[in-house]
Amino acid sequence: MIVIGLTMSLKTNPLLDVRQSMLRRLCYVMAICCGLALLPTGNAFATLPVVTKITPCGIVRGQETVITLAGSRLDDAHQVLCDLPGIEILEVKPIGGNKVEVKLRTDSNLTPGLYPIRLVTKSGIANLRLLGVGQIPVVNEVEPNNDFAAPQKIDLNCTIEGVVTREDIDYFQVALKAGQTLNVEVDGLRLAYSLNNQNILDPYIAILDEGRFEVASSDDSALLQQDGYCTFKAPKDGVYTVMIRDSSFLGSAVGLYRLHIGDYPRPLAVFPAGGQPSSQLKAKLLMADGSEQETTFELPADNTYLHGLATQTASGVSPSPNWVRVNELPVALEQEPNDDRRKAPVVPVPGAYCGMIEKPGDFDCFSFECKKGTRYRVEVFARHSLRSPLDPVINVYNPKAATLVSGDDSGGKIDPAVEFTAAEDGKHTVRIYDHLRGGSRLHQYRIEVTMPQPHVKLTLKQLRRNETERTAVPVGGSMAIVVTAARDRYNGEVNLSLDGLPEGVTATTFPMPPGRPEVPVLLTAAADAKHNASLYSMTAKGDEKSPLVGGRLSQTHNLVLGQNQRAMFTHRTERAAAAVTDAAPFTIEMVQPKTPIVRNGSKSLIVRIKKNEGFDERVTLRTLYNPPGVAINNSRYIDKGKTEAAIPITANGGAGIGTWPLILLATYNSSTGQAQIATNPIMLEVQDSLFSYTFPKSAGELDTEVTVAVPLTINRDLPGAAEAELVGLPAGVTSDAVKQPVPAGAESVSFPLKIAKDARVGLHKTLSIRTRVTVGDEVIMQTNGVGELRIDKPLPPKVEKPKEEKTKPKAAPKPAAPKPLSRLEQLRQMKKQE
């Protein structure tokens, strides 16, 4: 959020200060707890050199400077890689194990901004860090300067380098003339490196007048993301104070910043936002103070995803660039009025359409001719790439003005991209507006409409959590990477090529099969290779039927991760880093199997090492890449005193049939922690099952013998002698012939079973058949199941009923004698007779 001209007093209530301080401390403790919970476990980062701090964190272009890189495991540093041209490394000098001095020189015409560098040691490549390059002199912060009444006095047009610690506020005082413009811009969070939500400076800056009122302030900004800028024109002669603090008053011991203070030009937007290669871009600059200027830029000769333009005037050079797109698309500029989609101006297709949502509630529309059946892609570049405040939404309409497709965010970006196939010839229209119906002359955009072609996008799979892959190749050994491909309208074979590898390193590539998203690549360093490193590129090409399909490698580096491991700041590069590192204390070999693994089958891979004298540590083994449907046991190792291990692997019923490259990684303890080396690749052949079984439902009683006959089908000619073994017998069930030969042409296999009288009664779904086919000294193993065996109790013995004897009918019983009457009853009867 940018606030210009906001007036507020910094004087507060003391009780409120106490409450806010307690709240800040509580938030700080919670942040630490959350950060600890999110820290990576184990020793995934234990072997890599890490650069945690650069001092100074910026340099002046055209000068020779010495910077100090601090971190851990840096005692064998010997090289620095620079992703972009213009920085020359003169000397790399380690100082102890935690510091390295680097002498460098920059071109005098280098565009100011942040430049990626990577320190290289003899054991690996450190994390990418950004180094500031500027034009104005650098002044160091001098404490104490946290009192508004006693600020550090500075001259106009300088870059302050300092640190914001916890609850720290830094003040700098500068003198201005009436009408003079003061621009303040900060590099804060963009200088950090934090993957655990700690040691992050999220800066807040402000310009204060003599009465301590904020006349301009900034926290986040569209142009600089979570770093800000602010501008102010002095109404009279006087002194003004620039303040910087952490937005939540946390800060840290490594909360470095570069604060650019001066009357240099500060464009917030360049219009139009791009052009064609090797052309002159006649642009309008929209300045931070609301004014507009016109200038001309020379665009580079190559297509670039984003290109940074620095603005230079008599008052200086902008501290950071504005971003534009450079490609072959013809550019059409917005022509007002263009709010009505039914009356939109017609522009060429394919083409790039540049404009701005100039006021709240504004709509911009462009019409272009489409051909029936043709596929079109409409992509917007605004907030995500051009750093525009616009949050774009687009609608695409057919010739009848009916909506075809709409888009807001897409692909993890806050800029939309949509595709559609024209159902009819005629003018189609794209409309763009701000999601919250905002608008200003800074709300610019670039819409690119193309007919998308099949292509692939390459990147390297992360082998360490949140860590962009950089490859350490041991002298005389190998290391492997996994290349992933995001396919777009192409599902065929992908072939890879690498260019710019370190001297002495060669690459072994494998075709990426149709439909597959990844494939390993092996990098091998010669036995006489010297320690060196480089940045290499990678390209992809389609198969013979699709020679025009291509793609290139890009990597996204996580520099600052916030809560829940969400990226707060990243940096994209077009090349990956590889280095020749110290040799491993052993050589390693994975034996090429002579036989395939079949679906529903298993196999053991043999890995052998030859240890150098004096090395006898445990070496753990794990897979780098699994062929589809193949599982590999990653818990195996070669222990002390051993030189060989068997790695079990299995293939499920849907395993990918074909020949697949397979590489394992060996991890061992080195002087700097754990190091890795890759095995040679083997080509693992996966075939369909040799046998198909139909399990019947079998049953037997306790203390009996039964025969389980299993029908089978031999799917193809057997390469050797076959044997079937019945496994999974329930407790109490045995067999004297659990293994049976399977001759060619067999249609079933039978197994005699003995059921003990104390076996468990019930239905047992545990029977499987393990079939082995012996080929030379190797075995092809296939396992099929599951069969059923029901165990019953025997029926009780039948008991015959005794014969019934014929008996004479019984005589009718004699009637019983009448019961004598009582005296009372006799008198009653006598009375009745009277």
In the CATH scheme, what is the homologous superfamily, with its name and number, of domain 691-792?
A: Immunoglobulins (2.60.40.10)
Q: Does domain 456-558 have CATH number 2.60.40.2410?
A: yes
What's the CA gap between 551 and 485, in Å, rounded?
9
What's the pLDDT tens digit per position in 466-525?
A: 899 999 999 999 999 999 999 999 999 999 999 999 999 999 999 999 999 999 999 999
Of 150-159, 163-172, 643-652, 823-832, the range with the lowest mean pLDDT is 823-832
Q: CATH 2.60.40.2410 region(s) of the chain?
A: 456-558
Q: Are 460 and 553 in contact (CB under 8 A)?
A: yes
Is residue 702 a contact partner of residue 757, using CB atoms and an 8 Å limit?
A: yes
Q: What are phi and psi of 817, to 5 degrees?
A: -65, 145
Tell me: pLDDT of 536 over 90.
yes
Strand partners, 418: 378
Alpha-carbon Rg for the chain in angstroms = 40
pLDDT-derived band at 200 (thresholds 50, 70, 90) equals: confident
Q: Report the pLDDT value the prediction gives residue 342, as an integer from 0 to 100.
A: 92
H or E segment and range at residue 395: strand 392-397
| Residue closest to 308 by CA, chosen among 130, 174, 123, 114 | 114
> Using one digit for the tens of pLDDT, what is the confidence trace for 273-306?
999 999 999 999 999 999 999 999 999 999 888 9
Dihedral of CA 291/292/296/300: which sign? positive
**Closest to 207 measured CA to CA, from 260, 172, 235, 243:** 243
Q: Give the pLDDT confidence of 344-359 residue by residue, as tens digits.
A: 999 999 999 999 999 9
What is the average per-residue pLDDT within 684-707?
Answer: 95
- For 43, 71, 113, 245, 565, the CA distances from 561, given in Å and listed in that order, are 19, 19, 22, 20, 5
Residues paired with residue 366 on neighbouring β-strands, in sequence order: 430
pLDDT of residue 125: 96
400-404 contact pairs (CB < 8 A, 24+): 401/341, 401/342, 401/429, 404/428
Q: What confidence tier does 410 reach under pLDDT thresholds 50, 70, 90?
A: confident
Strands 682-687, 597-598: pairing is parallel
Taking residues 429-445, report their average pLDDT. 96
Interval 14-41 mean pLDDT: 38
So what's the pLDDT on residue 809? 66
CATH entry, 2-34+136-262, from 2.60.120.380, 3.40.50.11930, 3.40.1190.20, 2.40.160.50: 2.60.120.380
Q: Please name the residue that has the structure tokens 């041209």.
A: 85
Q: Which residues contact 20 (CB under 8 A, 6 or more apart)?
A: none
Residue 266: burial class (beta carbons within 10 Å; 0-12, 13-18, 19+): buried
pLDDT at position 773 over 50: yes
* Token couple for 365: 């529309």
Which tokens is 831 given? 């009375």
What residues contact residue 253 under an 8 Å CB cut-off, 6+ apart? Answer: 163, 165, 199
| SS3 annotation, 48-106 | CCEEEEEECCEEECCCEEEEEEEEECCCCEEEEEECCCCEEEEEEEEECCCEEEEEEEE
SS3 191: helix
User: Across all residues in the chain, what is the average pLDDT?
Assistant: 90
Per-residue pLDDT at 793 exceeds 60:
yes
Residue 382 — left, alpha, or beta (φ > 0 → left; ψ -120 to 50 → alpha)? alpha
Spatial separation of the C-alpha atoms in residues 519 and 234, rounded to whole Å: 61
Query: For the domain 50-134, what is the CATH code?
Result: 2.60.40.10
pLDDT value of position 9: 30
Name the phi and psi angles at 592, rounded to 5: -70, 120
Q: Is 199 left (phi over 0), alpha (psi -120 to 50) or beta?
A: left
Summarised one tens digit per residue, pLDDT across range 707-723 is 999 999 999 999 999 99
With H, G, I as helix, E, B as strand and everything else as coil, classify residue 564.
helix
More confident site: 814 or 181: 181
Q: What is the mean pLDDT of residues 723-746?
A: 94
Give residue 613's Cα distance to chain centre. 40
pLDDT at residue 670 in the model: 86
In CATH, the architecture of 331-452 is Sandwich (2.60)
Give the residue range(s) of CATH 2.60.40.10 domains in the chain. Answer: 50-134, 586-687, 691-792
What is the full DSSP assignment across 432-444? EEETTS---TT-E
CA 338/CA 345 separation, integer angstroms: 7
pLDDT class for 795, splitting at 50, 70, 90?
A: confident
Q: With left for phi above 0 and alpha for psi between -120 and 50, is residue 411 left, alpha or beta? A: left
Residue 32 CA to residue 196 CA, distance in Å, equals 9
Pair of tokens at residue 822 = 């009582």
The pLDDT tens digits of the residues spanning 8-25 come to 333 333 333 333 344 444
What is the reported pLDDT for 811?
A: 66
The residues facing 295 across adjacent strands are 283
- The reported pLDDT for the residue numbered 803 is 67
CA dihedral sign, ordered 248, 249, 252, 254: positive
| pLDDT surpasses 90 at 626 | yes
Q: Which fold has domain 586-687?
A: Immunoglobulin-like (2.60.40)
Residue carrying the six token digits 């590539």: 509
Q: Cβ contacts of residue 492 below 8 Å, gap of 6+?
A: 514, 542, 543, 545, 546, 549
